[in-house]
Structure 1
Amino acid sequence: MRPFRLWLILINVISLTVDTDPGVDDAIAILLALASPEIEIIAFVVSFGNTDVEASYRNIFKIYQAVGRHIDQHPEAHELFPGYTSVRKPLLLKGATGPLSGELHSATYFHGRDGLSDISESHPELNPPEDLLSAGNHPHLEVSDHPAHEAVLDLLRKRPPRSVTYISLGPLTNLAQTLRTDGACVRERIGRVVIMGGALDVPGNATPSAEFNFFADSYAVDEVLISPTTRLPLARVLLLPLDITSTHLLPFSTYTTHIDPAFATDTPSIPTAKKPLTHFTSAFLRRARSVMRAYGRDAMELHDIAAVWAAIAHPPGLEGSAPGWTARRRSFLMERVGELTCGMCVVDRRDDKGAYAPGANRARVQAELKSHMAAGSPGGFGSLESVAVPARVEVTDGPSHRCSDEQEGVPVVEGTPGAEALLQVMVKRIWHVVVDKENLTADLLLV
């Protein structure tokens, strides 16, 4: 038995359900999961989001086909993708086609109509054969037409309690539907939920105030994370908002120097000149690079890749944060219907240090003073014109108005082992390239 296989047996493998709308960064995140010995993918639940659910469904097959072709040409790479196996095939399930409520949105402006930079047209050789898309015909995927939320519940019931990690890389619709069907089962048996979504203290990427996944189904966010009657057990949740994911990058200079020297935005990838997996990633990264350059940055933000990294580091049952990671409870409300703010994480900043200087929470004190005035308290409204140094007033908040108590908030990742660390892990596991940390640091400083 080879040492690598022995290691796989000895480590505690995480059973992972991947809820995804496979766009560009989702695809790389899935490749990282397939290349990570800490993970056994037990199911893919595809969703609308970056593209429509049918394109999301096909993109899983494209990813698996690329890995398979790579292994066929380079058999030694088989052990480097422990998740690619015919022994324990993950379920492939079609999930939500649209949000619980509200308009249907997509991110095709970045990911293309097919979710992978329109490679279905520019690189037809990367399209999977039609006969592999139906149930029972795929050697590495268990294709199922069972309703996704019911299949997820079946997995939770069959697996040991609190042993499954559920990672959401797209809108939270599938998870919300699963909670609606049997919330007691989910809350009792789920081990860990890792979510990429939201923007707390930074601008959004779908709108000025909202991150795309939360914008795409704000009602689902409210049911999964906010509403006391429907939400998950927050102690088992780990949220990675744009605040942390956008600081983790793949500089395209790193990709060109160490992975594909022929990578360029003005010419399509040529399959005969490189390894199959590199051809696949270069094919869909070409458009992504053009879009990011238009935004003034020659790098791709590793949103979903960072979430998979967090799931690897935080298996079910782990108390607190893994070494090198930090997380803090954050409380926020979800704006569901705002014309300009739908999908916004509304953080109550009135108690933050520096929100008012000096004095207490001015807005809440002012509201309490007005209440006293309406009840006949002396002083007149003239005394409300300046409350920079308000009198001490006992203020009580109802539970629906207060969202700043850290002990009741969602655990939010605020620190990781570093952008260089993720980049080093990613290029080594996916493309089997070892790059010195110093070189990666230098590349990151240039973007």
Structure 2
Amino acid sequence: MAASQLIIDTDPGVDDAFAISLAALSEDVDLLGVTTVFGNVPLEHTTRNALRVLQLCGRADVPVAAGAARPLIHPQAARAGHIHGEDGLSGRSAALPEPERDIEPGGAIKLLVGLLEEAGEPVTIAPIGPLTNIALLLAAHPHVKAKIDRIVLMGGGVNRGNTTATAEFNIWSDPEAARRVLVEENVPCVMVPLDLTYKCAVDAEWLAKLAAGGPIGAALNALTPDYLASYRRSLGWDGIVLHDAVAVAEAIRPGILRTETYPIEVETSFGPGRGSTLVDSRLPGLRGEGEGAGAPSTVQVAMDTDVDGLGEFVLGRLTR
């Protein structure tokens, strides 16, 4: 069976590092490239972190290109250094190996277009940071939509937020870009929201198995102290939430997450709901009544999974 083709768009970030490694170490994945975006930390750091994580995994063959350094329209109000560390990797990015490969000239959009045009079959894209690069790609190069199998993104929430009461960080960082991708573009999307990623949190025992599972697992575990401290406060126990790795698991193995198809909107106002994903889970007969004409955009929203099975899948790939 041919390996599935995948591109990751990312803002590493501890959970991004786990997600990149998950794809890079999976023999059934043809990781075509990695593009970086601002998000958890500035673009300079996210790009360097992506290069170093790939080097850790022995994947200097994977091209990396730097993308958007800021949102489409409005400045990003805050970053997530208080969760991921000021360098994005708990202050330990320098402990990863120096990359043998430099970034690709021309930037992320050029790399994305080239990889998609050259692909012999439709490609899965896994955006696990703000959706700025993907919005720019689809707006400037609409012909590549035919080469995209689906977009599997980590972002949003059905009944919760993390940056605000209702908004998840990736969507909140550039709501205008998120709306363009999720609402305005006709590309199949799977949204992996906070509601599910929190269900998939891993505990100290899982992290101990990761650390004991080989040099890559040990190196990844060593990146988690700041992240672990943050989630100890929010979870109430020793563990971390591997948000982005949950989405990449679905990109690698379609169906590992159970999805439901719902109409969706993204709030781009400057009120308290900015950056919220409005998932319309009403019964079909109740949707849209009195709300104007036009069919709403629909997205596959990941709602559930075999949590233990998913944890074993990720751990197995990272320690094989």
TM normalised by structure 2 equals 0.91
Identical pairs, percent: 29
Question: Alpha carbons of 1:14 and 1:279: their partners in 2 closer, same or farther (altered >3 Å)?
Answer: same
The answer on whether the counterparts of 1:90 and 1:142 sit within 8 Å (CA) in structure 2 is no
Q: Does 1:241 align with 2:187?
A: no
Alignment match, 1:428 = 316
Q: Does 1:253 align with 2:253?
A: no
TM-aligned CA deviation for residue 331 of structure 1? 1.1
TM-aligned CA deviation for residue 312 of structure 1? 1.2
TM-aligned CA deviation for residue 431 of structure 1? 2.0
Alignment match, 2:263 = 331
Alignment match, 1:93 = 65
Distance 1:420 1:396 in 2: 43
What secondary structure, in the 3-state scheme, does the structure 2 residue paired with 1:198 have?
A: coil
TM-aligned CA deviation for residue 346 of structure 1? 2.4
Alignment of 1:31-180 (within 5 A): 31-68=21-58, 84=59, 89-104=61-76, 105-120=78-93, 124-126=94-96, 128=98, 132=99, 138=100, 141=101, 143-161=103-121, 163-180=122-139
TM-aligned CA deviation for residue 422 of structure 1? 1.4
Bigger Rg, structure 1 or 2: 1
Alignment match, 2:186 = 232
1:287-319 Cα offsets, whole Å, 9 max, x none, are 2211111222321112111111101122xxxxx
The answer on whether the counterparts of 1:244 and 1:414 sit within 8 Å (CA) in structure 2 is yes
The answer on whether the counterparts of 1:165 and 1:194 sit within 8 Å (CA) in structure 2 is yes
Question: Alpha carbons of 1:125 and 1:166: their partners in 2 closer, same or farther (altered >3 Å)?
Answer: closer
Task: Give the alignment partner of residue 220 of structure 1, picking from 177, 180, 188.
Answer: 177
The answer on whether the counterparts of 1:327 and 1:411 sit within 8 Å (CA) in structure 2 is yes
1:391-444 Cα offsets, whole Å, 9 max, x none, are xxxx654236x75xxxx511112232x111111122222123xxxxxxxxxxxx
Question: Alpha carbons of 1:125 and 1:32: their partners in 2 closer, same or farther (altered >3 Å)?
Answer: closer
Task: Give the alignment partner of residue 196 of structure 1, picking from 145, 148, 154.
Answer: 154
Higher relative contact order (CA 8 A, sep 6+): 2
TM-aligned CA deviation for residue 325 of structure 1? 4.2
Question: Alpha carbons of 1:297 and 1:103: their partners in 2 closer, same or farther (altered >3 Å)?
Answer: farther
The answer on whether the counterparts of 2:7 and 2:124 sit within 8 Å (CA) in structure 1 is yes
Question: Alpha carbons of 1:67 and 1:243: their partners in 2 closer, same or farther (altered >3 Å)?
Answer: same
The answer on whether the counterparts of 1:166 and 1:192 sit within 8 Å (CA) in structure 2 is yes
TM-aligned CA deviation for residue 143 of structure 1? 3.0
Q: Does 1:282 align with 2:221?
A: yes
What secondary structure, in the 3-state scheme, does the structure 1 residue paired with 2:65 have?
A: strand
Alignment match, 2:304 = 415
Structure with the higher fraction of residues in strand conformation: 2
Task: Give the alignment partner of residue 12 of structure 2, picking from 19, 22, 36.
Answer: 22
TM normalised by structure 1 equals 0.66
Amino acid at match of 1:117: S
TM-aligned CA deviation for residue 61 of structure 1? 2.5
> What are the ranges of 5 or more consecutive residues in structure 2 without an aligned counterpart?
none
Question: Alpha carbons of 1:239 and 1:348: their partners in 2 closer, same or farther (altered >3 Å)?
Answer: closer
Alignment match, 2:145 = 187
TM-aligned CA deviation for residue 206 of structure 1? 1.0
Question: Alpha carbons of 1:93 and 1:398: their partners in 2 closer, same or farther (altered >3 Å)?
Answer: same
Aligned length: 318
Distance 1:397 1:422 in 2: 39
What secondary structure, in the 3-state scheme, does the structure 2 residue paired with 1:12 have?
A: coil
Amino acid at match of 1:232: N
What secondary structure, in the 3-state scheme, does the structure 1 residue paired with 2:246 have?
A: helix
Question: Alpha carbons of 1:347 and 1:327: their partners in 2 closer, same or farther (altered >3 Å)?
Answer: closer
The answer on whether the counterparts of 1:149 and 1:181 sit within 8 Å (CA) in structure 2 is no
Distance 2:317 2:214 in 1: 15
